[in-house]
A and B are shown apart, each in its own frame.
Chain A
């Protein structure tokens, strides 16, 4: 019970800090915080698949890119309304996740991982080669952050401190939605799949359909991250579809803890901040980053959040024993 209030308190504090950053920070801080929130959305959605069903996908960059290019294309050719662009991006990610997932969820473990990797590489090479549509290695450039027109009034998004609250809104919305999903019937079934996927079918559950649903949901959140990232940078990067980019949500989830709800958020923060700091000191940032990641992943069993909450529980039982 105390634990629950503590959790709510922490989330309240987080929201307050994020709003404070939005009101009082400079452009760099705003930019970094938005990057953290976008990566956290990506990873939280991803972890619904990895943490809850145990399926390890190496192809989620494809859905991030589907969101990015869906928004980019609509924004450049149809309408620059941000909500319409986001909707198009989500729809693109949804369709792509449904098609790719249909083939992938028939398999598990290494076969699943390799299939998602293969599909991800196909999407990347399509984006790379369809120059006339996707802009090839240049990506789509010049995507405007048009005002958010809600009919009776419109909110400008062009400035970083305005767009920041737009991202914050979707970040908090994602937390809420993913929390609800985890507490729902569907979430319980996913937990059952994670616990014992052999038994779940004998409970009258179609394992394949539920895996596919989790895959598509995580793909749509990846797409959301893609749309927000594209609006942030004003262009799409073809390398956001590259398979190396698919490793990001995996690492972020692992750093934070795949069996925790807050893990991907904390992991996203650590990932972005660490990378930024290391990049300032050395060109070999990947080497140092890799070493630090190794230490975190090996040193904190169950991720940073998992290890900390385990530590807190231990301390509690120890104090009651005294």
Chain B
């Protein structure tokens, strides 16, 4: 039997008296588009931060393709293929869109050390950067300074930077936050088709129930740092526990 992509065992994290993760056990299989939902303060961001390496757990283990990565620094996880995007726009503002996507690709192709070779000479990287921009729908903006992009395009670039690192597993933290409906459907269509390509497994943290139920094959519900629901969209919709704490108001029966 093949190893799961990511396995979390009894993960705990608290900030003072606030429990943000309590004995979380989860397994992510390759290719399954998953969403993580939960009310504010449920521990979604903490979970992503724990998995991507921004913070370390109080106890518990994280395995990526069978390897223990619980204490690994961020950049090592990225190199292994575990990456994330951010809820707030977090790009390189004064660099061009092209350079924004070029930085992770240089790291991925191990070309980031060249001290005296002009960066423009890396033709392979050049081509791949254009491919990434194509995939997120920003090829025309390659020469634009990132800070000059519209908010929606910045969000696309945000996803583009994450994709350029060549992740096997990619966490998207509220990828549609602050987008207008047109941009929103554009990025969702993107995620859907990228997921179908099969190179990258997506895990999305979302507020918007419509998005979650239309997009995902699996939904995980967090509440006060505890997993209270995990299953297909149908199962989550019909779970009494989930409806009680979370969906009660939003989905009338």
From A184, A198, A203, contact of B119 by CB (8 A): A184
Any chain B CB within 8 A of the CB of A187? yes
| Distance between A168 CB and nearest chain B CB, rounded to angstroms | 21
Q: Report yes or no: B90 in contact with A183, Cβ–Cβ below 8 A.
A: no
Is B113's CB within 8 Å of the partner chain A?
A: yes
Closest residue of chain A to B52 (Cβ to Cβ) is A202
| A185 and B119 contact, CB distance less than 8 A | yes
Q: With A185-B119, A185-B122, A189-B106 known to touch, is A201 a contact of B114 (CB < 8 Å)?
A: no
Main DSSP-derived SS at the B contact region: mixed
Q: How many residues of A contact B (CB 8 A)?
A: 24
- Tell me which residues across on chain B come within 8 A of A186, comparing CB atoms: 112-115
The contact of A202 among B115, B116, B120, B162, by CB within 8 Å, is B162
* Chain B residues closer than 8 Å to A195, beta-carbon distance: 92-95
Residues of A within 8 A of B106 (CB): 185, 188-189
Closest residue of A by beta carbon distance from B116: A180
Q: Is A155 an interface residue (CB 8 A)?
A: no
Task: From B78-86, B133-141, B148-156, B235-243, give the one contacting chain A.
Answer: B78-86
A274 to chain B minimum Cβ distance, whole angstroms, is: 31
What interface size band does chain B fall in?
35 or more
Given contacts A201-B75, A203-B161, contact A185 B83 (CB under 8 A): no
A128 to B66, CA, bound (A): 56
- Is A207 at the interface (CB under 8 A from chain B)? yes
Residue B38 lies at the interface, judged by CB distance under 8 Å to chain A: no
Shortest CB distance A207–B (Å)? 7
Measured CB to CB, the closest approach of chain A to B155, in angstroms, equals: 14
| Known contacts A189-B107, A202-B104; 15 further A-B pairs (Cβ under 8 A) | A181-B116, A184-B115, A186-B114, A188-B95, A188-B103, A195-B94, A195-B95, A199-B92, A201-B73, A202-B84, A202-B162, A203-B75, A204-B107, A204-B165, A205-B112
Docked pose: A180 CA to B115 CA in angstroms: 7
Which of chain A's residues have a CB closer than 8 A to the CB of B95? 188, 191-192, 195
**Counting CB contacts under 8 A, is B111 at the interface?**
yes
The smallest C-beta distance from A152 to any residue of chain B, in angstroms, reads: 28
| Given A203-B165, A205-B103, A196-B111 contact (CB < 8 Å) | no
Q: How far is the CA of A205 from the CA of B112 in the complex (A)?
A: 8
Complex interface residues of chain A between 115 and 132 (CB less than 8 A to chain B): none
Encode B108-146 as 1/0 by CB contact (under 8 A) with A: 100111111111101000000000000000000000000
